[in-house]
Amino acid sequence: MTPEQRLLNETRRHFFSRCGVGLGQVALAQLLTGGRTLAAPAATGSPMDPKPPHFPAKVKSVIYLFMAGGPSQLEMFDYKPKLQEYDGKPIPDSLVAGKRFAFMDAFAKDPLKVLGSKREFKRYGRSGAWVSDLLPNISTIVDDLAFVSGISTDNFNHGPAKCFVNTGSTRFGRPSMGSWITYGIGSESHDLPGFVVLQSGPRGPRGGAGLWSSGFLPTAYQGVPFRSGGDPILDLSNPDGVSERTQRNTLDALRDLNLMRQSDVGDPEISTRIAAYEMAYRMQSSGPDLIDFNKESKETLEMYGVEPGKSSYANNCLLARRLVERGTRFVQLYHTEWDHHDDIGKPLETACREIDQPTTALIRDLKQRGLLDSTLVIWGGEFGRTPMGEVRVSGKSGRNHHIEAFTMFMTGAGIRSGQTIGGTDDFGYTATEKLHVHDIQATLLHLLGLDHTKLTYHFQGRDFRLTDVGGSVIGKLLV
């Protein structure tokens, strides 16, 4: 029988029985791929291209000043004369009965005793905000700030607590705040990453890269750690002997190969790889320009307390301003060494001295340049400190972790400044209003034009979101 005769005798039933894919398999594939049995077409744009928000946004960029370790609100903002009155006396059992703390063994040796603050507090500005002598510069801008007092969180250990503030979960593996934001609305920067991480202090934050991970989102949305001296990213410069033309030809060839592969398999991570190569190429020009502080005036450098070429919180604050000027969507600064169990005296003074002037300079600089009209600045840690003292070193007192009432402040676009919302009881132990970390996250997304209940990603059979199943926008914070 000739091939032509064989085709004439072939029925549809014969064809489908021999083609290797039955009709049921075709139907199943169609269902499992949402109707896309063929590979997805190659993406023509970058994953970081700007996307429309859910509703008009008040904010274009966010600078999150994260004080890693848990700064003591009772030494800085939350003035409580009752602590002085009860200094050295047992704290009322009604406040602490049944409560758990990070280091129960330290508290179990002796009754829980109140520790009065040794700092001098005053009211400042038209708003009358309380600020201690630890922050003489921040005290001059309180009318530009909105303080949120009595925030609660879910975990009293550093790693999980940092993870919770940044990802909405105490378990690592979820997308970070900056990843959710850039996934939702992309970035306006073409030559720099949309989500940048800057670090200062003697060590990195507990939790490390998991705090700025993209989790189960495409890796295009993970945070990119920058250095504040030399190349922003290691190995950014071309090796010796590699010309710009050679590099461009190489990248073009890699792009073409990746696009061919993407047309075959439709893997979104290939788009991430292409975008990363192209961003690195553009950053060879934009990166050195970004960290070239010689273009800043002497007055600006002195205002921040910058030391060009050195890694410091002051340098990172100036770098943050330069990043949002260039369209970066989310900049997160981590400054460590706020975990003062042993001594709430000199070490806290040092940490406050490191951040007081640069933080104030950043806010003033943004305001002078008109950038505060489109930028949100947030300051805070993963939790606060207990009203009870903790003695680990003879002759010195510190404070334990406290998750039920800590303080943050915000300023910038969409924020009703010159106010303090929330509050705590006479001992600074219990919040007088219910304010939670998820509420902070929901409010931040709202200012960016994102509904926290609609910014979701389907993974492992459910829709995940930054605020999990909680969170409410804090209306009193908003203009």
284 in any annotated domain = yes
Total number of domains in the chain: 2
12 in any annotated domain = no
User: Rounded to whole angstroms, how far apart are CA atoms 218 and 262?
Assistant: 15
- Residues 185, 50: contact at Cβ < 8 Å? yes
Please report, for the domain that includes residue 427, its CATH number: 3.40.720.10
- Residues 176, 169: contact at Cβ < 8 Å? no
User: Rounded to whole angstroms, how far apart are CA atoms 215 and 206?
Assistant: 17
Assess whether 126 and 171 both reside in one domain. Answer: yes
Last residue of some domain: 290, 325, 360?
Answer: 290
- For the chain, the maximum distance between any two Cα atoms, rounded to a whole number of angstroms, is 107
Assess whether 278 and 134 both reside in one domain. Answer: no
Assess whether 412 and 431 both reside in one domain. Answer: yes
Assess whether 176 and 160 both reside in one domain. Answer: yes
Assess whether 226 and 335 both reside in one domain. Answer: yes
The C-alpha torsion from 139 through 354 and 224 to 380, rounded to 10°, is -40
**Helix (H, G, I), strand (E, B), or coil: what is residue 394?**
coil
Among residues 183, 174, 167, 284, the alpha carbon closest in space to that of 232 is found at 284
Assess whether 410 and 398 both reside in one domain. Answer: yes
Assess whether 280 and 304 both reside in one domain. Answer: no
**Helix (H, G, I), strand (E, B), or coil: what is residue 11?**
coil
* pLDDT of the residue at 31: 46
28 in any annotated domain = no
User: Rounded to whole angstroms, how far apart are CA atoms 441 and 151?
Assistant: 12
162 in any annotated domain = yes
Residue ranges making up the domain that contains 424: 61-230+295-477
Beta strands 195-200; 224-226: pairing state:
parallel
441-to-168, 181, 355 alpha-carbon distances in Å: 8, 11, 23
CB atoms within 10 A of CB 409: 25
User: Rounded to whole angstroms, how far apart are CA atoms 67 and 82?
Assistant: 26
Last residue of some domain: 275, 290, 305?
Answer: 290
* pLDDT of the residue at 209: 93
Last residue of some domain: 290, 306, 323?
Answer: 290
Assess whether 239 and 225 both reside in one domain. Answer: no
Assess whether 89 and 125 both reside in one domain. Answer: yes
Beta strands in 135-273 (DSSP E): 146-152, 195-200, 224-226
* pLDDT of the residue at 102: 75
Token match 């369209």: residue?
Answer: 327
* pLDDT of the residue at 448: 98
The C-alpha torsion from 147 through 150 and 154 to 156, rounded to 10°, is 90
53 in any annotated domain = no
Assess whether 111 and 217 both reside in one domain. Answer: yes
Beta-carbon contacts of residue 476 (< 8 Å; ≥ 6 apart): 416, 419, 421
Assess whether 373 and 359 both reside in one domain. Answer: yes
* pLDDT of the residue at 274: 76
83-to-80, 119, 345, 425 alpha-carbon distances in Å: 6, 12, 16, 11
378 in any annotated domain = yes
E strand or H helix at 168, and its extent? none
* pLDDT of the residue at 395: 83
2 in any annotated domain = no
Assess whether 121 and 208 both reside in one domain. Answer: yes
Q: What is the pTM of this model?
A: 0.86
19 in any annotated domain = no
Q: What is the pLDDT along the chain (479 residues), one digit of tens a residue?
A: 565 555 556 565 555 555 444 444 444 444 444 443 333 333 457 889 999 999 999 999 999 999 999 999 999 999 999 999 999 999 888 888 777 777 655 555 677 899 999 999 999 999 999 999 999 999 999 999 999 999 999 999 999 999 999 999 999 999 999 999 999 999 999 899 999 999 999 888 988 999 999 999 999 999 999 875 566 666 666 677 777 777 777 778 887 888 888 788 878 778 777 777 777 767 777 777 888 898 899 999 999 999 877 889 999 999 999 999 999 999 999 999 999 999 999 999 999 999 999 999 999 999 999 999 999 999 999 999 999 998 888 889 999 999 999 999 999 999 999 999 999 999 999 999 999 999 999 999 999 999 999 999 999 999 999 999 999 999 999 99
- Residues 75, 119: contact at Cβ < 8 Å? yes
437-447 and 177-185 helices cross at what angle (nearest 10)? 30
Roughly how many angstroms between the first and final C-alpha of the chain, as a whole number? Answer: 84
